[in-house]
Amino acid sequence: MPDPHALSFLSIPTDILIGLDNRAYRFALQPYHHLVRMAHILSISAFFGAIVLLDLRLVGLKPALPLKGLSELVMPFIYWTFAVGVVTGALLFFYDPVHVASHAYFSLKLILVAFGIANALAFNRRGFAVALTAPGAVPRHARVVGTLSLLIWAGVMICATLNVEAAPKVLLR
């Protein structure tokens, strides 16, 4: 039974996690597990760095830097690093789903990733083209979306970092 904590209500049911556990897959991936983990850490770090660059420009930092040029440079990198992060994250999850999902902040991290994707999709559909062509300052809605994106993806990185350690006894009990 997982250690109870304040975020227990977000946890994936243990029966589902046990059902996802596949020993043959785990033994097949075991010699390469460290490589997959390194690829995951590098890809999410690169993704986060690129997101921070783009979002800081959206919130108004370095207004002389053309948003369109920056986005043309950074967006393909964001897509590729996110894809690698998702694939390697899934490989790591299925390597040991019971252990991975037992971390206190795992479900919260997944929820924040979903919010980050939803935020980006909504902005790309409705406001990104306007922000790219806006003369002068970035429109207010783009600054709000950029700030929200920074907060969401920082939250994802914080949750990922906290998942490495045991649950803090003071905060979660």
- Enter the pTM of the model: 0.83
| Crossing angle between the packed helical segments 140-164 and 33-58, to the nearest 10 degrees | 150
Task: Let me know if residue 70 belongs to a domain.
Answer: yes
Task: Let me know if residue 5 belongs to a domain.
Answer: no
Greatest alpha-carbon pair distance for the chain in Å reads: 57
Task: Let me know if residue 2 belongs to a domain.
Answer: no
The set of residues, in sequence order, having a beta carbon less than 8 Å from that of 134 and lying 6+ positions away, is 142
pLDDT tens for 108-134 read 999 999 999 999 999 888 778 777 777
Task: Let me know if residue 1 belongs to a domain.
Answer: no
Q: Cα–Cα distance between 30 and 141 in angstroms, integer?
A: 46
Domain hosting 58: range is 12-165
Three-state SS at 15:
helix
pLDDT tens for 20-55 read 888 888 899 999 999 999 999 999 999 999 999 999
pLDDT tens for 6-18 read 666 667 767 877 8
Amino acid sitting at position 58: L
Q: Give whole-number Cα distances, 115 to 28, 66, 103, 144, in Å.
A: 33, 27, 20, 15
Per the structure, the count of domains in the chain is 1
pLDDT of 5 reads 61
Task: Let me know if residue 170 belongs to a domain.
Answer: no
